[in-house]
Structure 1
């Protein structure tokens, strides 16, 4: 059996395995646009009432667009802070002969291994002391801090793969260390920066524990908390509405993956090719 035939069989097998999942998502989408009698499979009417949260607030819940804006701000700012700090810290650990460098690298790994839930009490007390409890900025700082160890460790590996001779040649021509880092090294690890940005954004977009515990008020509510609150009241639970909000919540993730799929697949190809 040739490698091409093996690839075809693998694609067919993956297609068969993925078919039930694809059908489930199709049925979920149809179910949010229709009404079905209990026990029936096919809907008896199509309607937009389950998407009414887009144009009228749900009683007792904040406006969905304000919550979406909070989620977008939380995810984007956390991602930018993670990329900025990780890119500088990883470069310093990769290129500079700083004291206790090995200990710092080991500490980064230890911090990444810590479960978030074990730090919640300490983080809660710190945010209260700083006056950042129940604020979006406080949750952003915490989430970015927790993502930094992963970002630093990943980017350091990419910095290590960049030839040192390129930087030496540029500095001999009069370029500063900052200019070398910004104009020569960063473009070479661009695929890693894009991938780190996507992973950080998705981690922030799907974050639930931190916003729920550290920002429980409506002013800083994000979509994950909004969705969880829909099932908090068992007496007035609307399954169709819950599925519609869930689909609305996942659409940006699908769009992001569709737009940056090529960059994710080329993460390890290096920025100096093509």
Structure 2
């Protein structure tokens, strides 16, 4: 009996170690191509050539470090496109966050005629691809463009028009996400506030919103990334570099008839990633801090 125990314990320990290592090994193998791709792009932005993971000069020798691929930072069109991307992304964060939180609260807390039908329509709208709606969106933007004052801000070939379309397309996901967060919040504090005479809006703003900040942070991450990386809508409904965003400008850099400098394209692509990384880091930290604080407070 003792011999059997002595032989099986090492085997069990080995299986346990392998069981713990295998997920990490598989995860490392799966993300390795992605990591190599990003390293390749990073090296290419400071290299004279794009081949391999080591910087090379024009003759193929190791050590061809250069900053000439970043000279696009002196181009006013790049900063104009950066501002356009920022307007679209921030506009989406504010617009989708505000409308989704209000709509999600109404769908979660109020009973009104057509509520279930509205929920079903919202879910169906989320299934529509933007490509299917391009002609209809074009007609709507042309109509808005004919309205005095508003047309110059939100019509066709305007950054505001692109932001308006992007907000509309992202609302179904935002509404469902916010409704899910509202459904998980207890009614106790809300009922007490309503009994004390607080209005629905005050309850939503002062009691409910602080409890769903993790949800708002998650929605902000999704909408900011979607708006910052938007390509199809800006490319379709804008003309010229003055209203182009960074993805459209990046396509222009790589789609010119002249010889393409792929190192410059890689540098612009890396430049486009920087704000997303910064926004994600700060938002993720806020998300984790709020979640930890909420968990401790509710314990």
TM more than 0.5? yes
SS of the aligned residue for 1:219 comes to coil
Counterpart in the other structure of 2:208: 185
How far, CA to CA, are the matches of 1:172 and 1:40 in structure 2? 66
Which of 220, 224, 228 does residue 247 from structure 2 map onto? 224
Report matched runs for 1:112-127 at 5 Å: 112-127=126-141
* Deviation string, structure 1 residues 80-135 (Cα, Å, up to 9, x no partner): 00000010011111111111100000000011111001111011011111110000
Question: For the Cα contact (< 8 Å) 2:46–2:55, is it kept in 1?
Answer: no
Question: For the Cα contact (< 8 Å) 2:77–2:241, is it kept in 1?
Answer: no
Counterpart in the other structure of 1:167: 190
**Relative to structure 1, is the Cα distance of residues 7 and 159 closer, same or farther in structure 2, using a 3 angstrom cutoff?**
farther
Does 1:103 pair with 2:117? yes
Which of 39, 42, 47 does residue 66 from structure 2 map onto? 47
How far, CA to CA, are the matches of 1:140 and 1:65 in structure 2? 18
* Deviation string, structure 1 residues 158-213 (Cα, Å, up to 9, x no partner): 11111122211111223221111111111111101110011011111111010011
Counterpart in the other structure of 1:133: 156
Provide structure 1 residue ranges, at least 5 long, that are not aligned to the other structure: none
Does 1:246 pair with 2:269? yes
Report matched runs for 1:57-96 at 5 Å: 57=75, 63-96=77-110
Aligned residues: 268
Counterpart in the other structure of 1:27: 40
How far, CA to CA, are the matches of 1:16 and 1:118 in structure 2? 37
SS of the aligned residue for 1:84 comes to helix
* Deviation string, structure 1 residues 17-41 (Cα, Å, up to 9, x no partner): 3234323322321221121387895
How far, CA to CA, are the matches of 2:52 and 2:25 in structure 1? 33
How far, CA to CA, are the matches of 2:156 and 2:24 in structure 1? 49
Counterpart in the other structure of 1:273: 295
